[in-house]
């Protein structure tokens, strides 16, 4: 049975390289500090696409938001999925386990939904 395709998010090559330059980081050093293979980071830059788990690792290490790298805001990107799972009675922990995104992203979506209602 084939696996589901991996959801890829867009990333802006120039913005990404600019942030590395500002922080005086090489791709090799970034790879060492984030435990992401050097080749993977180069592929991300070349293709302009990134997996969410790598995006989360990179943004946390670089202390930037996904939007700073040209990627969509994670709260907006996953809002519909999070609200759907919550409406089906999933607990916060189950949503974190199922979606594999940081709980802070889910908290922000849920708090914003409460404030809107």
Note the pLDDT tens digit of each residue in 61-75: 999 888 888 877 777
Give me the pLDDT at residue 31, please.
Answer: 94
The pTM score is 0.69
Residue (of 37, 43, 101) closest to 16 by Cα position: 43
- Which pLDDT does position 90 carry in this prediction? 86
The domain limits of the chain are 8-69, 74-116
CATH T-level fold of 8-69: 434 Repressor (Amino-terminal Domain) (1.10.260)
Q: Work out the mean pLDDT of the chain and round it to a whole number.
A: 84
């Amino acid at each position: 049975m084939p696996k589901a395709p991996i959801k890829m998010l867009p990333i802006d090559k120039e913005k990404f390289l600019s942030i590395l330059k500002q922080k005086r980081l090489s791709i090799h050093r970034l790879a060492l500090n984030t435990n992401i293979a050097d080749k993977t980071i180069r592929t991300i830059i070349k293709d302009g696409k990134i997996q969410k788990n790598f995006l989360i690792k990179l943004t946390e290490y670089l202390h930037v938001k996904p939007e700073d790298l040209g990627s969509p805001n994670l709260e907006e990107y996953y809002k519909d999925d999070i609200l759907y799972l919550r409406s089906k009675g999933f607990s916060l922990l189950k949503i974190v386990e199922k979606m594999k995104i940081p709980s802070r992203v889910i908290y922000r979506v849920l708090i914003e939904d409460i404030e809107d209602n």
